[in-house]
Amino acid sequence: MRFLRRLPALAAAALLALAGLTASPAYAGEAAVTAAPAFKAPYPCGQRWTYSHHSAEVRRALDFVRADGGSTAGTPVLASAAGTATRHSQPSGAGNYIVVDHGGGWKTYYFHLAAYSVANGAWVGQGQQIGTTGSTGNSSGAHIHYEQLYNGVGQNIVINGAGLSYPGSYHQAYLTSDNGCGGSGVPFTTWGSGVNVRADARLSAAVVTTLAGPTAVRVVCQKQGDTVNAEGYSNNWWSKLRDQNGFVSNIYIDHPSAQLPGVPLC
């Protein structure tokens, strides 16, 4: 019956079209909405950050700080989707910040940058560095203030197709980035059986899958984490596996070096 109810409206639209005119949507819900880009986290591949929302923040922002032992200050800020970057400065508020226009009404904002990494008006790809994390403007410490806007209205933030929570303080929610992880990764083979692949380079991190035996893998990046002792070896380097989307201790990568050659840092 919904189709029958819409017939008069469709007929009217057809008559307007014949006259060379257009009609506005009858309801706000009928207005065309451009699909959001496939946004990724605004910081480098493999890094684990915690985030929070403060009631005094503008729009639907989230503030991110590192939670993996690395320094927040100076960490690269990455474009969470491709678009055109413009540089701005507001010393009394947002500090140095960049807006990336993704088209279709979608934009992302990155506040409090220590420095810009792209020219004003430059086209940037997803995962490209656009600045470095800082504390410029009205900020009490280094962090990434991040927003997603549609037609100028702040949206609840979605990363990799999943909406993030809005905790009132840090260390209640965490997000590990897969932004800028590169293409195919470097091929290696694991050894051993029952090898756990974890969500982060920590022994307490959740197990995302288990490798039953020697497995051909693609390593996209590596970083230092918890020290693992096994089979007479000790190593605190971990590899991010492309296809398993998790980390495994480099002890279980079939290579004699503790830090794998030819693999970038996460």
pLDDT in tens, 206-233: 998 999 889 988 888 888 999 999 878 8
Q: What are the tokens at 199? A: 């969500």
Of 48, 53, 105, 102, give the one whose Cα is nearest residue 75. 48
Q: What are the tokens at 53? A: 């929302």
Domains and CATH numbers, the chain: 48-176 (2.70.70.10), 186-252 (2.30.30)
Q: What are the tokens at 95? A: 């500090």
Q: What is the pLDDT of residue 32?
A: 52
Q: SS3 for 3?
A: helix
Q: SS3 for 9?
A: helix
Kindly indicate the confidence band of residue 238, based on its pLDDT and cuts at 50, 70 and 90. Answer: very high
Does 7 score more than 50 pLDDT? Answer: no
Q: What are the tokens at 225? A: 């984490």
Q: Which residues make Cβ contacts (< 8 Å) with residue 108, sequence separation at least 6? A: 39, 42, 79, 80, 81, 83, 99, 100, 102, 146, 147, 148, 149
